[in-house]
Structure 1
Amino acid sequence: MKEKVTSKFEELYGPGAVLFASPGRINLIGEHTDYNGGFVFPGAVDRGIVAAIRLNGTDRVRAHALDLGQTAEFGLSEADKPAQSWACYLFGVCREIQKRGGKIGGFDTVFAGDVPLGAGMSSSAALESTYAYALDDLFSLGIDKFELARIGQATEHNYCGVNCGIMDQFASVFGKKGCLMRLDCRSMEFEYFPFDPEGYKLVLLDSRVKHELVGSPYNDRRASCERVAKMLGQEFLRGATMEQLDAIKDKISEEDYKRARYVIGEERRVLDVCAALEKGDYETVGKRMYETHWGMSRDYEVSCEELDFLVGVAEECGVAGSRIMGGGFGGCTINLVRDDVYDRFIATAKEKFAARYGHEPAVYEVVISDGSRRL
């Protein structure tokens, strides 16, 4: 990717670019908890975005998305928002830095990525983190890493139409090789947990069903949680118990009840997984992953037939843990697989999925890697 991006940059804009990269992420457990003030447990992966960037001394940005073969040019004031959706990510990052008092100018850039699009691995957060980190570096702005993550999150909210939590951008900026991170999304405190599952592999199976998070499905669920939290007299669902939820069951809709039941259970599961990892107990980690999946499928209703099918295959093959990963409505399952069942699981999943849906799932082994950086 570095060579591809540099070569295209020189062809379009000449020499002198600096390279930056940010990763996509997996989330072992803790899904749809971030905007509820709860815990998430992500890690950065060895796939991401690489960008070549050179300041151009003007107030214009000239950008080329290599994978799409598209170019955009835009200014840095609010009225200059570009038409292309991918360019809105870059524009949003520029604007959010400016809103925080950062003095930036124009630049030329080419970027490419190897995060599978629509797989729930947060290619958009990798893109935002790359440019937030790069502009901070190139303009010597001195923005702290949490603020870089918030800039990416605000870009999603204000320029891309997704009212997301902070997890994806946090994982992309703060990633550390060989470690997962437990982030408290209320206090913003975080802790690294070594993740070295000897005798197990972490692998994603991509259903290749693409999900689109813009619009109602994601925002509807967030609104459900906010209604229940308000009814409980809390800002977030974080810390609520099932006893408290059951006490107001007759005052809320069945749908809101189910959404909140999932989130309250998920907070407990994240803490259980952290405790299990400290003991090297990967079988408990796997059990909690299955519980998360069926909670997301039945209570939160963000799964789909293809993902439920893949998790069912994992259960049949004796896989330690499997669940939908990401916002939902397609994308990947994340699987914790013992080495002795790995080959059989992958072969069975491919064969059965293709027989049912007409194509094989894509398989991505995961390596936990570093966060945003200058290359």
Structure 2
Amino acid sequence: MIEHDDNSYEKLKKTLVEKFEDHFGTRPFFLVAAPARVNLIGEHIDYCDGFVLPLAINRHVMIAATPNGSERANLLSLMLPNQPATVMLDEPPKVSQPSWANVIRGVFDGFRNKDFWPLPGFDAVIHSNVPLGAGLSSSAALEVAAATMVESLLGIEINPKNKALLCQTAEHKFAGVPCGIMDQFASVFGKKDHMILIDCRSEEAQAIPFADDSVEIIIADTRVKHALSDGSYANRRKHTEIALSILGKDSWRDVTMEDLLSAEPNMNEQVFRRARHVVTEIDRTQRAAMALARGKTETVGQLMADSHKSLRDDFEVSCKELDIMVEAAWDIGEAGGVLGSRMTGGGFGGSTVTLARKDNAEEIMQKMAATYQAQTGIEPSIFATTAVDGAHSLGL
């Protein structure tokens, strides 16, 4: 299935306002939006003090709200209309049911702990066009949208970095997901026509201009997600920790390829390959950011291909479906408008990201979808996007 934007942002906003009026009998007073993200390059190195290079995409979580004069937040999700949530604001938030609202409870807890309280009671409706299960971080977009709504209700604006970290903590404490900083930072710091280079050691974000305006991003959801019942993700993190210990370094940022090759005899083959991915991916991400800023998109494309091969062969987090989708893009090649393609996200399913010429994007998406469905029997979901602005308030 090829999805087209067709003014999707405005459609999302229109539907949200209409549903709010239908449910609460009044127009909303506040309206906010936060985008999802895709990572162009820099995978599985956020927990290794590395760099990541995501962009905010044209898929959003929006929240409409109006104060209700009580001490309750009444929350309705249009994605789960049969699971409304009520959160009491005069007591510390706790993990509760429905579970989808837990990260919002976590955001409330974060503001409460920073003494930005009391929060006035309000009625809210939440809507989203972020594909679920595609690895585009709908949860971070919900957290950042909720934090932006709290800012509006309180009439404040907190430091963007603190806002992103508050949302990360909400996911840790209230969803039990020990995520890195990339997702929340991308949703907060997103900027139109820019990538966001995030230094995961210093926790600083820098906007990198997308200098070549002839290209856009194609995101292809494989619609598969393989279970990690064998602890694959945790094992890979453990391998990186073992390797760093053998290297005798405090941070992967201090490790060179020469250091790694010297230490290879002290590592088993699997740990060495995990370490090789970390060292080379940190380097690739920095080189990609520089190339993007200079408009050298062909260079970025080759780095993306190298990243996928490293994730497939050294880190072993790809899967058959991801490889088929990436190779479908590679087969189209530069002559057909594809500059680069790779898996994106944690792996074992989810989505791929492809750098493509705008003029060829429609044909590329059709070919990728046809190839993937012919080889897997699964109809993928594919759409094109440019980089958009991060979380913001909307006019009504």
User: Is TM > 0.5 for Structure 1 vs Structure 2?
Assistant: yes
Superposed counterparts of 1:152-231, under 5 Å:
152-210=167-225, 216-231=231-246
Match of 1:356 in 2: 375
Aligned match for 2:319, one of 279, 283, 304: 304
User: How many residue pairs are counted as aligned between the two chains?
Assistant: 375
Q: Note if contact 1:41-1:182 (Cα within 8 Å) is conserved in structure 2.
A: yes
Give the Cα–Cα distance (whole angstroms) in 1 for the partners of residues 93 and 207 of structure 2: 41
RMSD over equivalenced CA pairs, Å: 2.3
Q: CA deviation at 1:365?
A: 0.5
- Do residues 66 (structure 1) and 73 (structure 2) align? no
Q: Deviations over 1:195-217 (max 9, x none)?
A: 14344332111111146789944
Q: Secondary structure at the match of 2:202?
A: coil
Mark the runs of 5 or more structure 1 residues left unpaired by the alignment: none
Report the residue type matching 1:373 in the other structure. Answer: H
Superposed counterparts of 1:71-86, under 5 Å:
71-76=84-89, 77=91, 80-86=94-100
Q: Note if contact 1:224-1:256 (Cα within 8 Å) is conserved in structure 2.
A: yes
Match of 2:7 in 1: none
Mark the runs of 5 or more structure 2 residues left unpaired by the alignment: 1-11
Q: 1:264 to 1:17 in 2, by over 3 A?
A: same
Match of 2:355 in 1: 336
Q: 1:99 to 1:228 in 2, by over 3 A?
A: farther
Q: Deviations over 1:1-26 (max 9, x none)?
A: 22222222233334243111001112
Match of 1:91 in 2: 105
Q: Note if contact 1:201-1:337 (Cα within 8 Å) is conserved in structure 2.
A: yes
Report the residue type matching 1:75 in the other structure. Answer: M
Aligned match for 1:45, one of 57, 68, 72: 57
Is the deviation greater in 244-253 or in 345-354?
Answer: 244-253
Match of 1:326 in 2: 345
Q: 1:62 to 1:342 in 2, by over 3 A?
A: closer
Give the Cα–Cα distance (whole angstroms) in 2 for the partners of residues 294 and 214 of structure 1: 24
Is the deviation greater in 255-264 or in 146-155?
Answer: 255-264
Q: Deviations over 1:125-167 (max 9, x none)?
A: 1111111122123213442110110011111211112211111
Give the Cα–Cα distance (whole angstroms) in 2 for the partners of residues 52 and 131 of structure 1: 10
Superposed counterparts of 1:254-333, under 5 Å:
254-318=269-333, 319-333=338-352
Q: Note if contact 2:56-2:387 (Cα within 8 Å) is conserved in structure 1.
A: yes
Q: Note if contact 1:21-1:374 (Cα within 8 Å) is conserved in structure 2.
A: yes
Q: 1:84 to 1:233 in 2, by over 3 A?
A: farther
Q: Note if contact 2:187-2:390 (Cα within 8 Å) is conserved in structure 1.
A: yes
Report the residue type matching 1:256 in the other structure. Answer: V
Aligned match for 2:67, one of 55, 67, 76: 55
Q: Secondary structure at the match of 1:81?
A: coil
| TM-score in terms of structure 2 length | 0.87
| TM-score in terms of structure 1 length | 0.92
Q: Note if contact 1:177-1:370 (Cα within 8 Å) is conserved in structure 2.
A: yes
- What percent of counterpart residues are identical? 40
Match of 2:17 in 1: 6
Q: Note if contact 1:228-1:237 (Cα within 8 Å) is conserved in structure 2.
A: no
Any runs of at least 4 consecutive aligned residues in structure 1 with deviations exceeding 6 A, and if so which?
Answer: 211-215
